[in-house]
Amino acid sequence: MRYITICFGLFLISCGSPAKKEKNPIGNEPSKKENIPIEPVIPDGAITADFNGKHTPFYSYVQKVDSNKAITTIAFENNRYPIIKIPKSYGAILDSIKMKGIDRDLLLATVTLKDTSFNKYFLYKLQNDNWKSVVNGFAIHKKNQPDTLRPITIDPKDSTKVIRYYSVFDLDTTSETGYTWKLLKESIPIENK
């Protein structure tokens, strides 16, 4: 009888107590996992554009600035295209520009030079999975560069050419220094069109 009483008591204890719920440290409800999409991390200063003309934008960024060797390295999302190394430079600001008659965005690198009173510009086009210069690099003195100046545009008279601005040293006897920097423009053929 004693054995039956002990078994019956254990039966009552195990059946009478409710099943334990896991406690959520935040609240009463058990936590639910939500599928939140994770945005890819884009490097600081990166720009995104349709550089390949396939309507699949990707980003470009300054990967490295080697001040000892004076080389700026530009890289691309997921290393999908070759890097661009710009010699005699100490950093760059990247931008994309659209030009009439060209089916893709172009990469414009505004480069910092040793002489910080100038900006040098390099314009690239992605062609056959390689970066090609659209024109050779050109420099503009910062005194010649109002905020509204676009350093390079398609020539409205000839779509196979671009108009680019550049600065030249000009002797000026009326100036305190004896010289000024003059802003000129020229129309030149597009390379690698």
Is pTM beyond 0.85? Reply is no
Distance CA 47, CA 81 (A): 15
The whole-number pLDDT of residue 145 equals: 78
Q: What is the distance in angstroms between the CA of the first residue and the CA of the last residue of the chain?
A: 102
The answer to whether residue 29 is domain-embedded is no
The answer to whether residue 40 is domain-embedded is no
The answer to whether residue 12 is domain-embedded is no
Distance CA 157, CA 162 (A): 10
The answer to whether residue 19 is domain-embedded is no
The answer to whether residue 131 is domain-embedded is yes
The whole-number pLDDT of residue 101 equals: 83
Q: What is the pLDDT of residues 15-24, one digit of tens each?
A: 555 555 555 5
pLDDT surpasses 90 at 185 = yes
Q: What is the pLDDT of residues 90-114, one digit of tens each?
A: 999 999 999 888 899 999 999 999 9
Domain count, the chain: 1
Domain residues for 52?
Answer: 47-189
Under DSSP, the state recorded for 104 is S
Query: Residues 51-65: what's their mean pLDDT?
Result: 95
The answer to whether residue 178 is domain-embedded is yes
Binned at pLDDT 50, 70 and 90, residue 116 comes out as: very high
Q: Are 90 and 71 in contact (CB under 8 A)?
A: no
The whole-number pLDDT of residue 143 equals: 87
- Position 65: which residue type? V
Binned at pLDDT 50, 70 and 90, residue 77 comes out as: very high
Sheet holding 130-141, edge to edge: 92-97, 106-112, 118-127, 130-141
The whole-number pLDDT of residue 131 equals: 96
Binned at pLDDT 50, 70 and 90, residue 193 comes out as: low
The average confidence (pLDDT) of the chain is: 85
The answer to whether residue 102 is domain-embedded is yes
Angle, CA of 99, 135 and 165, to the nearest 5°:
80
The whole-number pLDDT of residue 112 equals: 95
Residue 151 CB burial class (10 angstroms; 0-12, 13-18, ≥19): buried
Query: Residues 139-155: what's their mean pLDDT?
Result: 86
Query: Residues 13-40: what's their mean pLDDT?
Result: 60
The answer to whether residue 32 is domain-embedded is no
pLDDT surpasses 60 at 125 = yes
- Position 71: which residue type? I
